[in-house]
């Protein structure tokens, strides 16, 4: 049977919301009157999410469950869902109901009007504090400046892609460091936008700590830009000019007979140069680490079990 809609849901320790999400999403999809599949990707949950998903899959043949062998991360879970989706359009969303299933009909309507990629732009997030909002805007502002690409501010992991775009994501974007919400914005095709208000999180808490968010943001910037490497050349030229100025100054002072002992100047210059050098070595090291991950070409995820695979 031709499946019209695939819904991919990343799950990590979401035992408190799974039944509520499945009930609401199934209700919305059944009212649409289109064939669909709900793909839950269990990203190595350590609570009872796996058992709950197994019960849901037994009761609902439209539900497919992919169990990872361990936790591989949200991006890997979404990619696994894309790899196993069969729908003419594919929607990625979270299980915590902050991505409201109620807007799925509007998303499908946009797709049927000819949109290949639908970016869901969040206008309000009740669970996002002031610090998180500011850092999110700062992240996109920096990324837009250094990458040469233009990314939508407040774009989320809630998006829709057509079958042909899903195929491209499966085959062409297999990096170890992934940013799917960014990838869909640079592949071209007919794009659309839809605003939504994020719901209050039904239960639990965000799985991303501030530390993880900063680490993730830094990896994204390395993936989409080589500007940090080019900064080494610019800083080298700047420091070279500064060194030339100091050299000329010292020669003038020597001819005037006012040559200072020079100890402070030497210490300041050496400290500054070494600090800059170590920063640049660190940046180069991060790029080498990204390259090393890609060269190893280890699997992005490993599946332990799939329930209702042939549904």
Say what the pLDDT of residue 140 is: 58
For the ranges 132-136, 199-203, 223-227, 282-286, the maximum mean pLDDT occurs at 282-286
Cβ proximity of 163 and 89 under 8 Å? yes
Q: Which band of pLDDT confidence, cut at 50, 70 and 90, is reported for residue 209? A: low
> In percent, how much of the chain has pLDDT > 90?
10
Q: Which band of pLDDT confidence, cut at 50, 70 and 90, is reported for residue 22? A: very high
Q: Comparing 295 with 84, which gets the higher pLDDT? A: 84
In degrees rounded to 5, what are phi and psi of residue 277?
-65, -45
> Is the model's pLDDT at 3 over the cut of 90?
no
Q: Which band of pLDDT confidence, cut at 50, 70 and 90, is reported for residue 67? A: very high
Q: What mean pLDDT do residues 235-244 have?
A: 66
Rounded to the nearest integer, the mean pLDDT of the chain is 76
Say what the pLDDT of residue 91 is: 92
Q: Which band of pLDDT confidence, cut at 50, 70 and 90, is reported for residue 42? A: very high
Kindly give, in sequence order, each residue whose CB lies less than 8 Å from that of residue 23, ignoring residues fewer than 6 positions away. Answer: none
CA 32 from centre of chain: 30
> Is the model's pLDDT at 238 over the cut of 60?
yes
Cβ proximity of 91 and 104 under 8 Å? yes
Say what the pLDDT of residue 122 is: 78
Say what the pLDDT of residue 114 is: 87
Least confident of 2-6, 51-55, 135-139: 135-139
Question: Tokens 């999400």 sit at which residue?
Answer: 21
Kindly give, in sequence order, each residue whose CB lies less than 8 Å from that of residue 112, ignoring residues fewer than 6 positions away. Answer: none
Say what the pLDDT of residue 152 is: 65
Looking at the DSSP assignment, which residues form a beta bridge with residue 41?
A: 10, 66
Q: What is the pLDDT of residues 142-165, one digit of tens each?
A: 655 656 666 666 667 788 988 988
Q: Comparing 267 with 242, which gets the higher pLDDT? A: 242
Least confident of 12-21, 63-72, 228-237, 271-280: 228-237
Among the listed residues 187, 167, 183, the one whose alpha carbon sits nearest the alpha carbon of residue 175: 183
> Is the model's pLDDT at 221 over the cut of 70?
no
> Is the model's pLDDT at 7 over the cut of 90?
yes
Maximum Cα–Cα distance across the chain: 93
Q: Comparing 247 with 10, which gets the higher pLDDT? A: 10
> Is the model's pLDDT at 175 over the cut of 80?
no
Q: What is the pLDDT of residues 177-193, one digit of tens each?
A: 777 777 777 777 888 88
Paired tokens of 109: 């309507």
Does the reported pTM lie above 0.85? Answer: no
Q: Comparing 55 with 188, which gets the higher pLDDT? A: 55
Classify strands 63-68 and 303-307 as parallel, antiparallel or unpaired. antiparallel
């Amino acid at each position: 049977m031709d499946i019209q809609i695939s819904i991919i849901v990343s799950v990590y320790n979401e035992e408190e919301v799974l039944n509520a999400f499945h009930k609401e999403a199934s209700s919305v999809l059944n009212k649409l009157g289109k064939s669909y599949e709900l793909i839950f990707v269990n990203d190595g949950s350590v609570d009872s999410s796996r058992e709950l998903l197994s019960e849901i899959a037994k009761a609902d043949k439209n539900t497919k469950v992919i169990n990872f062998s361990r936790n591989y991360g949200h991006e890997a879970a979404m990619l696994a869902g894309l790899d196993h989706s069969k729908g003419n359009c594919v929607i990625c969303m979270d299980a915590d109901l902050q991505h409201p299933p109620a807007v799925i009909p509007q998303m499908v309507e946009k797709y049927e009007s000819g949109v290949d990629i639908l970016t869901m732009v969040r206008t309000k997030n009740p669970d996002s504090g002031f610090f998180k909002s500011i850092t999110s805007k700062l992240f996109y502002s920096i990324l837009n400046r250094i990458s040469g690409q233009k990314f939508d501010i407040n774009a989320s992991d809630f998006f829709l892609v057509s079958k042909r775009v899903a195929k491209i994501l499966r085959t062409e974007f297999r990096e170890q460091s992934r940013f799917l919400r960014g990838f869909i914005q640079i592949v071209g095709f007919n794009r659309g936008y839809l605003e939504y208000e994020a719901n209050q999180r039904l239960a639990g808490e965000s799985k991303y700590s501030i530390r993880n968010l900063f680490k993730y943001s830094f990896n994204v910037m390395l993936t989409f830009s080589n500007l940090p490497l080019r900064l080494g050349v610019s800083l080298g030229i700047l420091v070279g000019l500064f060194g030339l100025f100091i050299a000329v100054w010292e020669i003038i002072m020597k001819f005037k007979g006012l040559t200072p002992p020079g100890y402070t100047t030497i210490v300041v210059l050496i400290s500054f140069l070494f600090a800059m050098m170590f920063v640049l070595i660190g940046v180069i090291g991060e790029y080498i680490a990204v390259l090393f991950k890609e060269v190893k070409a280890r699997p992005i995820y490993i599946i332990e079990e799939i329930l209702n695979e042939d549904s």
